[in-house]
Structures are given as C-alpha cells and as structure tokens.
C-alpha cells in the first residue's frame, strides 16, 4: 500500500521490540510497516479487534506482530498491553504513543466540557499511561516517540481542546525525557502537519462547516510544500526517532509539516 524502497530498509531495528498505540490507524500502521521492514517486532494496540486484525494482515501478520485490544485512557488496558508485548517478545525497546482522536471544532464559548475532557483523556492521559507502564520495562537505550501535531506548536481557531492537548504532550515529553535520560532512554515528540487520511479529512469537513470556507484548500495554501503529507512520510520520521540514527536527540520536537509552522 505504501511504497517502501528496499534500499531504505537498513535493519535499523533488528531485534528490537516495539509497541505502537493507535496501531490500526493510518500513521500507526504505516509506522508498524516500516518498523517491521527494518527488522523490528511490533505490538499493535488499538480500541477494536476487527481493525486490528485487518492491520495485522496488512503488515504480513506473522509471529513478529502481536495485536492487543485496549483503550489508552484505561490504566488496566495499557498495563495489559505492555505486558502482552513483553510476554510475546521478551523485551520492549520502543514505544510510539500515537493513539488519537480528532476533536470537535467549535468556538470556545460553545465548546462542550465532555468533549474537552474526552480529548484530554486520549491525548494526555493516554500518553501519560503509555509512558508510565512502558517505561517500567523499556530497555536502557530505548526510545519513546509521542505523536503530537503542528497543533502542539501553533494553533488554529475553533479547536481549543485538540490544540491544548497536543501542546500538553510536549510538556509531558520534556519532563519525562529528563527523568529517563539517565537510562539512555530518549523521549521526543513528532509534529506532523495535515496528513492525507480520513482523520484529517474529518477535521477539515468540520472546519469547513464552521468557517464556510474550504479547509483543505486553506491548509494546502498554508503549507509551503503545498500539499498534505502521506502517512508513510510521517512514519519515516518516527523511524528516525525510534532508532539509534537519532542517538543524541532527546527532549526535542521534530516538525514534519512541509514548512507549515515556520
């Protein structure tokens, strides 16, 4: 589905065990596919069994892949997901905290409290729980990649909960990175711009309805490279942060947005 040139796979994750939350989704699945191509074993964690089974099929579904059904906002589920990965692979070296939901678009004066709390539950509590449980067992020298957004560094009107939650992930990352640096574990956030996938299409539909304009065109006009990213382009940057290619990079914010936030 995504073009991976053979020469780009260098065995950078040979022998490593990785856990990807939101692993049945667009960026999570593209990441798993690249990780597997580079020699990793991957546990895919997501909400529902059926999309997870489809995802496992798409990446080959062999014994290097483990699927785990769970909700990142539920501490027992996250603990069980980490335990399942360690049980299958005997170790855990990389966490990609990627699960996320596109939040509602509404003016702050109309924004629902439940929607606000639900957005924070997935993006902030979910990342906190994944880090809490994965870092108890993560190998020294391992890597944590938190999938934030350009919305974690800048803002658009009408999406206050998503913007605040994505900014909060940077705070989590900075604090946790300092906490685990002594173990040689690196923790970074990645900040994709708009991706050409269903998640972003949903956001753009809601923003278009709110503003009366064409949000997709507006985003493309705001991106110097003039287009949305492919999920595989985000996955390649996640791969970089996951491997020793980024061995002196921690507590950093890697922007992959076609220049949008400059």
Ligand X SMILES: NC(=O)c1ccc[n+]([C@@H]2O[C@H](COP(=O)([O-])OP(=O)(O)OC[C@H]3O[C@@H](n4cnc5c(N)ncnc54)[C@H](O)[C@@H]3O)[C@@H](O)[C@H]2O)c1
Q: Contact positions toward ligand X, by CB under 6 A?
A: 21-22, 24-28, 46-47, 71-73, 98-101, 122, 126, 147, 149, 192, 194-195, 197, 199-200
Q: Which of residues 2 and 139 has its CB atom nearest to ligand X in the complex?
A: 2
Q: Which of residues 37 and 69 has its CB atom nearest to ligand X in the complex?
A: 69
Let me know if 253 is exposed, middle or buried by CB neighbors in 10 A (0-12, 13-18, 19+).
middle
- Beta strands 186-192 and 143-147: pairing type? parallel
Secondary structure of residue 52 in the 3-state scheme: helix
Compute the least distance from the CB of residue 148 to ligand X, in Å: 7
Chain position carrying tokens 């027992």: 76
Chain position carrying tokens 């690196």: 186
Rounded CA separation 20/223 (Å)? 28
State which residue has the least CB distance to ligand X. Answer: 25
Q: What is the DSSP string of 142-166?
A: -EEEEE--GGGTS--TT-HHHHHHH
162 is catalytic: yes
Pick the catalytic residue from 162, 180, 192, 246.
162
Q: Which of residues 50 and 140 has its CB atom nearest to ligand X in the complex?
A: 50
Q: With the CA atoms of 107, 109, 112 and 117 taken in that order, what torsion angle do they form, in degrees rounded to the nearest 10? A: 90
Compute the least distance from the CB of residue 48 to ligand X, in Å: 7
Compute the least distance from the CB of residue 7 to ligand X, in Å: 26
Containing 88, the helix (H) or strand (E) segment is helix 75-89
Q: Which of residues 130 and 185 has its CB atom nearest to ligand X in the complex?
A: 130
Residues marked active site are found at 162
């Amino acid at each position: 589905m995504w073009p991976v040139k053979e020469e780009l796979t260098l065995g950078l994750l040979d022998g490593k065990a990785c856990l990807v939350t939101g692993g049945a989704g667009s960026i999570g699945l593209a990441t798993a596919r690249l990780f597997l191509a580079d020699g990793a074993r991957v546990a895919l964690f997501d909400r529902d069994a059926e999309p997870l089974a489809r995802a496992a099929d798409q990446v080959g579904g062999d014994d290097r892949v483990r699927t785990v059904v769970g909700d990142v906002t539920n501490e027992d589920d996250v603990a069980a997901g980490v335990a399942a990965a360690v049980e299958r692979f005997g170790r855990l070296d990389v966490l990609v905290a990627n699960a996320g939901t596109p939040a509602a678009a509404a003016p702050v004066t109309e924004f629902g409290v439940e929607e606000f709390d639900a957005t924070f539950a997935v993006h902030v509590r979910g990342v906190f729980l994944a880090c809490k449980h994965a870092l108890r067992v993560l190998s020294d020298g391992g890597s944590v990649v938190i999938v934030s957004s350009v919305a974690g560094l800048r803002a658009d009107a009408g999406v206050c909960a998503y913007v605040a939650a994505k900014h909060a992930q940077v705070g989590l990352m900075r604090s946790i990175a300092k906490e685990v640096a002594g173990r040689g574990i690196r923790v970074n956030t990645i900040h994709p711009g708009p991706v050409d996938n269903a998640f972003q299409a949903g956001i753009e539909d809601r923003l278009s309805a709110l503003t009366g304009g064409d949000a997709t065109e507006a985003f493309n006009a705001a991106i110097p490279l003039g287009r949305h990213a492919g999920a595989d382009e985000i996955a390649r940057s996640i791969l970089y942060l996951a491997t020793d290619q980024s061995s002196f990079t921690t507590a950093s914010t890697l922007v992959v947005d076609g220049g949008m936030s400059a």
